[in-house]
Amino acid sequence: MTDLIPAAKPIIGDEERAAVDRVLRSGMVAQGPEVAAFEGEFAEHFVAGRPVVAVNSGTSGLHLGLLAAGVGPGDEVIVPSFTFAATGNSVALTGATPVFADIEPGSFTLDPSSVEAAITERTKGIMPVHLYGHPARMRELQDIADRRGVALYEDAAQAHGAALDGRQVGTFGEFAMFSLYPTKNMTSGEGGMVSAVDEQFARRVRLLRNQGMERQYENEVVGFNARMTDLHAAIGRVQLTKVDAWTEARRSNAAFLDANLRGVVVPPVSEGAHHVYHQYTIRVTEDRDGFVRALKDEHGVGSGVYYPIPNHRLTSLAHYAPGLDLPETERAAREVVSLPVHPSLSSDDLHRIVSAVLAVAEAGA
Ligand SMILES: *Cc1c(COP(=O)(O)O)cnc(C)c1O
């Protein structure tokens, strides 16, 4: 049996190791000049120079962003249910109520009509997820937000460099969060980047990140320790110089899969969307779990199911949504399979993935 092609593969090179070593030798490893430099470089690269605040995880970024936006007990924030639990968790952690809306079948992102139907007098904001690296329907959601007087936030954890009609994700919402977890499109080990609509908003996130202090021991608000270390920032700065080439590799791998796969539903791309393929997600309408098993056991092709249980069905979050029915979310949770699309795939790997999918799809048909 040939080696397993993994579903994801973080790339850490000699430059990242050298950068960490440089910071270690400096003797100053906590949040300092590397973090400040990383924030500036990330801002220029991904969010058109908006202020960016680095934190210790994407989840912290969402949590602090929501707190800085004034979200708290009594408020509702509309989120997708078809996402990683951190989206709804971050709302719940503020004391507000996550309200789950359905997705569109094509892009797997929030369906504006489902969002509109979920708005109440308690709605404070809407937080779409640019799931798998495909931008959510920001124009329609912005329209709804403006009309109904609510805010727009962005979970861009999986979407570094994604864009809609030439405008980068992370520049639409009052704030946006990018995750730097190892399997995301770039990493710092762990980490999150919060882009803010203005300097005042960014300052609130900075205060929350560091015990509410701007000046030492003059604590202005009750805050966390959610700081990024200079070690992590040093890794992130190196990755920032490589991420565009990785994204191009993801996009070209996806184009190859699009052109060659048969018997499964390949991921559609909405008009005007620049997809960065954090995941390449197909639909398998019959026996998805058997399909995943056969890919791995018979062909050595790893894959992932993101996500098998919708957030509104999770033990942790279900009490927010008793009796809620989200048909497209349920169907996606039953049908999705993410194939390897990461930049380390060789041409041989891509051919193996295609023949594996064709063989398994044919056997199942
Ligand atoms: C990864 C992820 C998060 C959380 O980011 P962490 O850095 O792992 O805390 C939030 N939302 C989505 C959609 C994610 O994929």
- What is the C-alpha separation between 186 and 180, in angstroms, rounded? 6
Locate the ligand 1 atom nearest the alpha carbon of residue 184 and give its number.
1
Ligand 1 near 181 CB (within 6 A): yes
Q: How far is 111 from 105, CA to CA, in rounded Å? A: 9
Walk me through the domains of the chain, giving residue ranges and CATH numbers.
14-240 (3.40.640.10), 243-364 (3.90.1150.10)
Residue 263, pLDDT score: 84
From 155, 178, 224, mutation site for ligand 1 pocket: most ligand atoms within 8 A of C-beta: 155
Calculate how far, in angstroms, residue 18's C-alpha sits from the geometric centre of ligand 1.
27
Residue given tokens 């936006």 in the structure block: 69
Output the CA 85–ligand 1 centroid distance in Å. 8
pLDDT at 365: 62
Q: Which of 80, 77, 10, 26 is nearest to 234 (CA)?
A: 26
Position in ligand 1 atom list of the atom nearest CA 60:
9
- Are the C-beta atoms of 38 and 48 separated by less than 8 Å? no
Q: Given this model, what pLDDT does residue 270 score?
A: 97
Residue nearest to ligand 1 atom 14, measured at CA: 157
Per DSSP bridges, beta strands 273-274 and 163-164 are: antiparallel
Q: Which helix (H) or strand (E) holds 79?
A: strand 76-80
DSSP-derived letter for residue 309 is S
Number of neighbours of residue 246 by Cβ within 10 angstroms = 19
Q: Is 253 in the pocket of ligand 1 (CB under 6 A)?
A: no
Q: Is 124 considered catalytic here?
A: no
DSSP letter for 312, please.
G
Q: 318 alpha carbon to ligand 1 midpoint, in Å?
A: 19
For 73, the token pair is: 């007990």
| pTM of the predicted model over 0.95 | yes
Q: Which of 76, 143, 132, 62 is nearest to 104 (CA)?
A: 132
pLDDT of residue 306: 97
Nearest CA, atom 7, ligand 1: 58
Q: Are residues 300 and 5 in contact, defined by beta-carbon separation less than 8 angstroms?
A: yes
What are the DSSP calls for 18-52, one per residue? HHHHHHHHHT--SSSHHHHHHHHHHHHHHSTT--E
Among candidate residues 167, 89, 81, 96, the one with its CA nearest the CA of residue 128: 81
Q: What is the Cα 148 distance to its own chain's centre?
A: 26
pLDDT score for 2: 72
Q: What is the residue with the minimal CA distance to atom 6 of ligand 1?
A: 58
- How many Å separate Cα 157 from the centre of its chain? 2
With CA atoms as reference, report the closest residue to 350 among 359, 361, 342.
342
pLDDT along the chain (365 residues), means of 10: 88 97 95 97 98 98 98 98 98 98 98 98 98 98 98 98 98 98 97 98 98 94 97 98 98 98 94 98 95 97 98 98 97 98 97 97 82
Cβ of 136 closer than 6 Å to ligand 1, yes or no, is no
